[in-house]
Amino acid sequence: MSQVTDLIPHRPPFLFVDEIVSHSAGSLIAQRTWRADEDFYQGHYPSAPITPGVLLCESVFQAAACFMALKALAAGAPPGAGVPLIAKISEVRFRHPVYPGDTVIIEVKEKDALSGFTLLSGHLKKPDGTRILNVDFTVIWKSPEAAKSDAAG
Protein backbone atom coordinates (compact mmCIF):
# COMPACT_ATOMS: atom_id res chain seq x y z
CA MET A 1 0.00 0.00 0.00
CA SER A 2 2.91 2.40 0.54
CA GLN A 3 3.36 2.70 -3.24
CA VAL A 4 -0.23 3.94 -3.45
CA THR A 5 -0.02 6.25 -0.43
CA ASP A 6 3.25 7.69 -1.76
CA LEU A 7 1.34 8.80 -4.87
CA ILE A 8 -2.05 10.03 -3.65
CA PRO A 9 -3.33 11.80 -0.52
CA HIS A 10 -6.12 9.29 0.21
CA ARG A 11 -5.82 7.32 3.45
CA PRO A 12 -7.88 4.65 5.23
CA PRO A 13 -10.74 4.46 5.76
CA PHE A 14 -11.18 6.26 2.42
CA LEU A 15 -8.49 4.44 0.41
CA PHE A 16 -9.88 1.98 -2.12
CA VAL A 17 -6.74 0.88 -4.00
CA ASP A 18 -4.56 -1.77 -2.36
CA GLU A 19 -1.76 -2.02 -4.90
CA ILE A 20 -0.63 -1.03 -8.36
CA VAL A 21 -0.18 -4.15 -10.47
CA SER A 22 1.29 -2.45 -13.56
CA HIS A 23 1.37 0.83 -15.42
CA SER A 24 2.45 2.28 -18.74
CA ALA A 25 2.44 5.70 -20.37
CA GLY A 26 -1.26 5.32 -21.19
CA SER A 27 -2.76 3.04 -18.54
CA LEU A 28 -2.62 1.64 -15.04
CA ILE A 29 -3.87 -1.59 -13.50
CA ALA A 30 -4.51 -1.79 -9.77
CA GLN A 31 -6.19 -4.17 -7.36
CA ARG A 32 -8.51 -3.92 -4.36
CA THR A 33 -9.93 -6.52 -1.98
CA TRP A 34 -13.12 -5.38 -0.28
CA ARG A 35 -12.79 -6.49 3.35
CA ALA A 36 -15.83 -7.72 5.28
CA ASP A 37 -14.95 -5.53 8.30
CA GLU A 38 -15.34 -2.23 6.41
CA ASP A 39 -17.81 0.04 8.23
CA PHE A 40 -20.11 0.77 5.30
CA TYR A 41 -21.20 -2.89 5.08
CA GLN A 42 -22.94 -2.44 8.46
CA GLY A 43 -25.53 -0.25 6.77
CA HIS A 44 -25.34 -1.26 3.08
CA TYR A 45 -27.14 -3.68 3.61
CA PRO A 46 -26.94 -5.38 7.03
CA SER A 47 -28.56 -8.68 6.03
CA ALA A 48 -27.06 -8.77 2.51
CA PRO A 49 -23.90 -6.61 2.36
CA ILE A 50 -22.99 -5.18 -1.03
CA THR A 51 -20.32 -2.65 -1.95
CA PRO A 52 -21.86 0.76 -2.76
CA GLY A 53 -21.54 1.71 -6.42
CA VAL A 54 -20.20 5.14 -5.53
CA LEU A 55 -17.25 3.48 -3.73
CA LEU A 56 -16.60 1.22 -6.72
CA CYS A 57 -16.41 4.38 -8.86
CA GLU A 58 -14.16 5.98 -6.23
CA SER A 59 -11.74 3.04 -6.50
CA VAL A 60 -11.47 3.73 -10.24
CA PHE A 61 -10.95 7.45 -9.58
CA GLN A 62 -8.22 6.70 -7.02
CA ALA A 63 -6.48 4.39 -9.49
CA ALA A 64 -6.67 7.27 -11.98
CA ALA A 65 -5.13 9.56 -9.36
CA CYS A 66 -2.22 7.10 -9.09
CA PHE A 67 -1.91 7.09 -12.89
CA MET A 68 -1.92 10.90 -13.03
CA ALA A 69 0.66 11.14 -10.23
CA LEU A 70 2.96 8.68 -12.01
CA LYS A 71 2.52 10.64 -15.23
CA ALA A 72 3.39 13.92 -13.44
CA LEU A 73 6.48 12.36 -11.84
CA ALA A 74 7.61 11.04 -15.24
CA ALA A 75 7.28 14.60 -16.58
CA GLY A 76 9.56 15.89 -13.81
CA ALA A 77 7.03 17.25 -11.32
CA PRO A 78 8.05 16.88 -7.67
CA PRO A 79 6.02 14.45 -5.51
CA GLY A 80 2.87 16.08 -4.14
CA ALA A 81 2.95 18.87 -6.73
CA GLY A 82 -0.69 18.39 -7.61
CA VAL A 83 -3.96 16.67 -6.89
CA PRO A 84 -6.42 15.24 -9.39
CA LEU A 85 -9.91 16.66 -9.35
CA ILE A 86 -12.84 14.99 -11.08
CA ALA A 87 -14.31 17.41 -13.61
CA LYS A 88 -16.88 15.15 -15.26
CA ILE A 89 -18.33 11.65 -14.88
CA SER A 90 -20.28 10.06 -17.68
CA GLU A 91 -21.41 6.73 -19.01
CA VAL A 92 -21.32 4.80 -15.73
CA ARG A 93 -22.59 1.28 -16.18
CA PHE A 94 -22.83 -1.25 -13.35
CA ARG A 95 -22.91 -4.86 -14.48
CA HIS A 96 -22.35 -7.03 -11.38
CA PRO A 97 -22.32 -6.43 -7.62
CA VAL A 98 -19.24 -6.66 -5.42
CA TYR A 99 -19.50 -8.45 -2.08
CA PRO A 100 -17.31 -8.45 1.04
CA GLY A 101 -14.19 -10.50 0.35
CA ASP A 102 -14.25 -9.92 -3.42
CA THR A 103 -11.03 -8.84 -5.12
CA VAL A 104 -11.36 -6.56 -8.13
CA ILE A 105 -8.97 -5.52 -10.87
CA ILE A 106 -9.11 -1.80 -11.63
CA GLU A 107 -8.01 -0.62 -15.07
CA VAL A 108 -7.66 3.01 -16.09
CA LYS A 109 -6.82 4.13 -19.63
CA GLU A 110 -6.08 7.60 -20.91
CA LYS A 111 -8.26 8.44 -23.90
CA ASP A 112 -7.20 12.03 -24.61
CA ALA A 113 -5.70 15.15 -23.05
CA LEU A 114 -6.93 18.64 -23.87
CA SER A 115 -6.29 22.05 -22.25
CA GLY A 116 -5.21 20.61 -18.91
CA PHE A 117 -8.01 18.03 -18.80
CA THR A 118 -7.38 14.31 -19.14
CA LEU A 119 -10.18 12.11 -20.46
CA LEU A 120 -10.06 8.58 -19.07
CA SER A 121 -11.99 5.34 -19.08
CA GLY A 122 -12.11 3.01 -16.14
CA HIS A 123 -13.13 -0.59 -15.75
CA LEU A 124 -13.58 -2.92 -12.81
CA LYS A 125 -13.56 -6.66 -13.27
CA LYS A 126 -13.16 -9.75 -11.16
CA PRO A 127 -9.99 -11.82 -11.59
CA ASP A 128 -12.00 -14.33 -13.66
CA GLY A 129 -12.79 -11.54 -16.16
CA THR A 130 -16.39 -10.85 -15.08
CA ARG A 131 -17.05 -7.18 -15.82
CA ILE A 132 -18.29 -5.15 -12.86
CA LEU A 133 -18.45 -1.57 -14.11
CA ASN A 134 -17.35 0.82 -16.83
CA VAL A 135 -17.05 4.58 -16.41
CA ASP A 136 -15.77 7.46 -18.54
CA PHE A 137 -14.54 10.53 -16.68
CA THR A 138 -12.43 13.66 -16.94
CA VAL A 139 -9.75 14.80 -14.51
CA ILE A 140 -7.90 18.08 -14.11
CA TRP A 141 -4.55 18.20 -12.28
CA LYS A 142 -4.28 21.13 -9.86
CA SER A 143 -1.68 22.34 -7.44
CA PRO A 144 -2.80 21.73 -3.84
CA GLU A 145 -3.16 25.49 -3.28
CA ALA A 146 -5.27 25.98 -6.42
CA ALA A 147 -7.46 23.03 -5.46
CA LYS A 148 -8.10 24.59 -2.02
CA SER A 149 -8.92 28.00 -3.47
CA ASP A 150 -11.26 26.42 -6.05
CA ALA A 151 -13.05 24.57 -3.25
CA ALA A 152 -13.38 27.72 -1.15
CA GLY A 153 -14.72 29.80 -4.07
CA dist list (Å): 100 to 17, 94, 127, 134:
15, 17, 15, 20
Residues contacting residue 152 through CB under 8 Å, at least 6 positions apart? none
Mapped onto helix, strand or coil, the DSSP state of residue 92 is strand
Amino acid, res. 15: L
Q: For residue 55, with 0-12 CB atoms within 10 Å meaning exposed, 13-18 middle and 19 or more buried, which class applies?
A: middle
Q: Is 44 a catalytic residue?
A: yes
Q: Which of 10, 23, 44, 96 is catalytic?
A: 44
Residue numbers annotated as active site: 44
